[in-house]
């Protein structure tokens, strides 16, 4: 064999050995076992500890609450949404206790009014809706019901009732002017309360010859306000005329 060929073969062989040695040194173990990555990386990711146990785990012990939850509107809300990650509690039930939030702050995360929320999702104005009362005082979070039949109009018509509370009409119950069918409490849009339609309705108290206490301001129904209805000028929930 010619000398230069021998030299080249030696050179090539040295190169191949160098590349193989470099590969052996540089390519990490398990690289390429499955694909172009370290197979051991998958194992280390799989070995991570879970923090959320899953609602099936909770039901193994808290079976009655789980049953209650499944019968109500929160059937799709997993336990750990409100109670926080509970894998540690599952591992050592007596040492680690999950949180049980009771303050007003948590429920509005989902139920505060936001125009971007889907239509029909139950929402409240958390400022006006029974302020300072904890949500769980009225609603069982494991089986929330739509509001129990409201006892007062103010439960829904808060703005009007607060306005009326500082007006001269404060002593008048809403039903003085709004005859309200009982079904309005459960089907507010289908059974609507009545509203006065004519001047004579206000005249029942405010006409000159009305059989009412003398302290009530009087007007002449025939001449006062011409063709307008009373509530075109006076807001009945806050009548400004003295």
Any contact of residue 149 with another protein (CB under 8 A)? no
Residue 158 interacts with another protein (CB under 8 A): yes or no: no
If you count DSSP H runs as helices and E runs as strands, how many of each does the chain have, helices first?
Answer: 11, 2
Token digits of residue 94: 């007596």
Looking at 7, 10, 11, 12, which residue binds another protein (CB under 8 A)?
Answer: 12
> How is residue 56 written in tokens?
């099936």
Among 12-20, 91-99, 136-144, 160-168, the segment contacting another protein (CB under 8 A): 12-20
Compute CA distances 32 → 35, 36, 204, 239, whole Å.
Answer: 5, 5, 93, 83
- If you ran DSSP here, which 8-state letter would residue 92 be given? S
The answer to whether residue 146 forms part of the interface with another protein (CB under 8 A) is: no
Q: Is 20 one of the binding residues for another protein (CB under 8 A)?
A: yes
Q: Which of 9, 128, 179, 200 touches another protein by CB under 8 A?
A: 9
Q: 213: buried, middle or exposed (CB in 10 Å: 19+, 13-18, 0-12)?
A: exposed
- CA angle 88–91–95, rounded 5-degree value: 70
Q: Is residue 121 near another protein by the rule CB under 8 A?
A: yes
The verdict on 228 binding another protein (CB under 8 A) reads: no
Q: Which C-beta is closer to another protein: that of 127 or that of 216?
A: 127
Stretch that binds another protein, among 32-40, 93-101, 165-173, 228-236 (CB under 8 A): 32-40
Residue 132: Cβ within 10 Å count: 6
Rounded Cα distance between 113 and 126, Å, is 8
- Count the site residues for another protein by CB under 8 A: 49
Q: Hunting for tokens 């073969």 — which residue is that?
A: 9
Which range in 70-78, 165-173, 175-183, 206-214 contacts another protein by CB under 8 A?
70-78
Q: In terms of DSSP H, where are the helices of 85-220?
A: 87-91, 108-111, 135-138, 158-165, 199-206
Q: If binding is defined by CB under 8 A, does position 77 make contact with another protein?
A: yes
Please, which residues have CB within 8 angstroms of residue 212's CB and are 6 or more apart in sequence?
A: 204, 205, 206
Give the binding range for another protein (CB under 8 A) out of 40-48, 181-189, 194-202, 231-239.
40-48
Residue 96 C-beta: closest distance to another protein, Å: 14
- Write out the two tokens for 2: 């010619």
Cβ proximity to another protein: between 118 and 211 the closer is 118
By the criterion CB under 8 A, which residues form the site for another protein?
A: 1-2, 5, 8-9, 12, 16, 20, 23, 27-28, 31-38, 41-42, 44-52, 54-56, 74, 76-78, 80-81, 84-85, 109-110, 114-118, 121
């Amino acid at each position: 064999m010619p000398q230069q060929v021998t030299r080249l073969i030696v050179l090539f062989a040295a190169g191949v050995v160098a590349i193989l040695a470099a590969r052996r040194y540089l390519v990490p173990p398990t690289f390429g076992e499955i694909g172009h990555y370290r197979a051991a990386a998958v194992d280390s990711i799989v070995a991570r500890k879970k923090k959320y146990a899953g609602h099936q785990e909770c039901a193994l012990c808290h079976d009655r609450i789980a049953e209650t939850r499944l019968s109500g509107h929160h059937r799709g809300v997993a336990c750990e949404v409100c109670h926080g990650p509970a894998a540690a509690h599952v591992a050592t039930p007596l040492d680690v206790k999950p949180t049980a939030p009771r303050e007003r702050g948590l429920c509005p995360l989902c139920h505060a009014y936001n125009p971007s929320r889907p239509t029909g999702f139950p929402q409240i104005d958390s400022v006006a809706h029974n302020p300072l009362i904890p949500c769980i005082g009225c609603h069982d979070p494991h089986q929330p019901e739509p509001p129990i039949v409201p006892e007062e109009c103010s439960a829904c018509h808060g703005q009007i009732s607060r306005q009326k509370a500082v007006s001269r009409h404060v002593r008048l119950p809403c039903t003085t002017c709004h005859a309200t069918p009982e079904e309005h409490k459960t089907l507010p849009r289908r059974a609507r309360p009545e509203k006065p339609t004519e001047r004579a309705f206000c005249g029942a108290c405010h006409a000159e010859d009305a059989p009412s206490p003398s302290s009530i301001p009087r007007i002449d129904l025939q001449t006062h306000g011409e063709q307008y209805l009373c509530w075109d000028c006076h807001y009945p929930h806050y009548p400004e005329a003295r």
